[in-house]
Amino acid sequence: MVIPTVRLVGTMVLAVAVVAAGQLLPGSSILYSETAQLIAGLAAAVFCLRAARERTGVARYWRQLAAGGLVVWALTRLWCVVQVVGGSGGSTPRIIAAVGFLVLPACMLFGLLSATHTRPRPVPTSPRRDQVGLVIDSVLITGSVLALAWTVYPGDQLEDVVDTVWLAYPIFDLVLLTMAGLLLTTRPDSPAGRRPLLVIAAALVAFGTADTLRLLGTGPDWLETAGHLLGPALIALAALCPARPAPALPDSALLSRDWLHLLVPYGPVLVTGVVLAARTIGGEPLTPFQAYLGWLGLALVVTRQMLTIIDNNVLLDRVAETQRRLHHQAYHDPLTGLANRALFREHLILAVEAHERHGTPVAVIFADLDDFKLINDTFGHAVGDRVLSAVGERMRSCVRSTDLVARLGGDEFAVVFDHGMLQPPPQRRVRGRLRRIGGRRYVLSAAGVRVSETVDWPPDPSLPEPAPPTALAEGEWSAEAEAVGQRVLAALRKPYVIDGRSVGVGVSIGLVAAEPGDELTADVLLRRADAAMYAVKRHGKNALIRYTGPRDSLPNADLPQLLAGALADGGSPAAAGFEVFYQPIVRLADCATVAVEALARWTDPVAGRVHPDVFVTMAERTGLVAAIDDFVLDQACADAAALAARFGRPIDLHVNVSAGRLGQQDLENAVKAALSRHDLPPARLVIEITETLRIPDLPRAADVVGRLRALGVRVALDDFGSGFNALAQLHSIPVDIVKLDSTLTDFGNSPDRSGALCRSVLAICAELDITVVAEGLETPDRSGALADLGCPLGQGYLFGPPAALADL
């Protein structure tokens, strides 16, 4: 609500009417004047208190201060009335008047200072220094104005009032008025928000006029009385003004106001200095009062400059701290505090440059938590976040302080090692040496995958302490980098205790090490480590694979790039070296071939023959696996007639499809197109779901499988018992065939246990009318054992390795 201008005009008219009535009434004009001011002060205090109860914060604080000052001011007027009635003629003791009349200006001072909290400077600064600076600026301007007044006003009259106690009141009023003017001119606010301060400034003008007339002893008494009546009334009007939020001014307007805040105090000082200098040069010496004011102004200017320097230093520190914080936020993960992908890439580029210039070895670890979504779904995202933080801490504890651990996003972490030597972390001494334990470790290369044992960590404390580490020779670099990777793997395998609950999570780690002489890029290293990590996923997870790419005359041959080029849109996979091999699926009762599985093979012109685990993993990671699936599907359907001629009868075709494609319309369209293009009966096609990745949407996948079966195409669940393929898929997805993984058909270590598992699966599949194919049959004993258990079909090297159509 906007205060009507009529209310302000009415207040002034009322004050004039009261003064005029005092002039017309007979009797003591002093008694009437003091009584009217007493009533005005008490009434204004009541209005301020009522307005304060409806507000909070600074708005309540300054209104309460104003009410307190008005009460003391009114009580002082009451003392004056008592003195007049008692016959003292209004001669109030100076100590009572000095204290009583100075309380209201003091309260107004603190009230104006509190306005700095609601009207801060555009440039952030300390509130306390801001208030001190406001006081100094106000006193500095007031001193300059007094010095000018002393110069232009008759000196004899001013010398008469210098020693008068009443001199403090107009000076105090002028300081407060200056302070209100500075707040109005240098602090942003809305028109409605400025109105209370404008009314307060008008009240200070009224008080200042009355106090100046009383000091000089000139002018009519009614004008002095009117000033002392208008002052409290205007303060009450200011208290009744509604609060308004500060407007959102543009940055340019805020900056201009801050420059005004710096320049305004020195304008009067400059004018006063010029005037005094001119008069001094003209032969008029400075009076002691002017000299005192000059020294006071100099001290205030120096103090003000010191405050400005402090503010500038604080501002520069804040800018530097903000830059550091923004830099940290730009290059670090907010959850774990680890480096993010941007910082990791920069660090890896520097390490690769050092490797190219000085032959410094460099290695990269790429780690992905296994089935981390299950932790979020089971325990909640808060627990998942704490697990991620704990993973980051454990990874940092396994490497040196010079190595960089980063969270690349989600549940993916990476480490870059450089500086030519990998040693155990320096922050703690560990007794013992590495020992072998059971388990598997995979080393991935373009030629194949070899399996060896893993390493246990931490080492056995009963073993002797190892010798101090020495600099690594070129041949030892890869082994040492792999040892650090195994240390990270062992640390991350341990359960995490979160709020008293043990949370376990596996991790798949890919490692790539560049030794002196390798010419690689940061992107190549990261992609190879990524591909190695996904190969771990295909081989059962929770292990480490080291990527060892070809090091020959073509060191820049990068398999991910070559794969992307071979499967590019519009290109022919066959022209890029892709072909289809077939492996027989036989009936165990008579070893007759009843079907073949179509398998992709790739011989790149640059990298040579690439192992299927390598390029399939890369294709799944880069989203190119659909191109491989469609190529194998189309080629197998095209070879159906030739296969029937070779085996003397039509046989079924098993084609692998990535589980990630289930639920996508393009799979169903590709199957229909291949069947139609090559005129193949749907009953002869079997789509094998190779679930190296989790099926994203089981209900939708089941719907796609149902539509494929409606076409007459059968569906098989590949590698049952490994990866994600388990009983839940048998329940959710209507399949026709289950292919037992080789880990279930291996009876070598514990034949009784393996036999019990196979009998259970065979019984379940028999109840569901699902045909079972045993994979990985390499010996007659294993084949005979599966046949004795009732398994109808088998596949493995015992019956023939994958081979081209011409070699079957």
Query: What are the catalytic residues?
Result: 775
Between CA 238 and CA 51 the distance in angstroms is: 10
**Preceding amide of 458 cis, omega within 30:** yes
Cβ neighbours of residue 408 closer than 8 Å, sequence gap 6 or more: 340, 341, 344, 414
Between CA 304 and CA 139 the distance in angstroms is: 11
| Residue 71 half-sphere exposure toward CB, CA atoms < 13 A | 11
313 φ/ψ sector (left φ>0, alpha ψ -120 to 50, else beta) = alpha
Q: Where are the beta strands (DSSP E) in 486-634?
A: 496-498, 501-503, 506-514, 544-548, 578-587, 592-604, 608-610
396, 405 Cβ separation under 8 angstroms: yes
Tokens of 237: 């009007």
12, 230 Cβ separation under 8 angstroms: yes
529, 414 Cβ separation under 8 angstroms: yes
550, 519 Cβ separation under 8 angstroms: no
Between CA 367 and CA 396 the distance in angstroms is: 13
Q: Which residues pair with 579 in a beta bridge?
A: 601
Scored b (16 or more CB within 10 A) or e, 683-708 reads: ebbbbbbbbbbebeebeebbebbeeb
680, 661 Cβ separation under 8 angstroms: no
Identify the three-state secondary structure at position 597.
strand
DSSP character at residue 422 = -
Closest CA to 179 of 141, 122, 207: 141
DSSP 310-358: HHHHHHHHHHHHHHHHHHHHHHB-TTT--B-HHHHHHHHHHHHHHHHHH
Cα torsion angle, 363, 510, 506, 699, sign: positive
Question: Helical H runs in 440-587?
Answer: 477-493, 522-538, 559-566
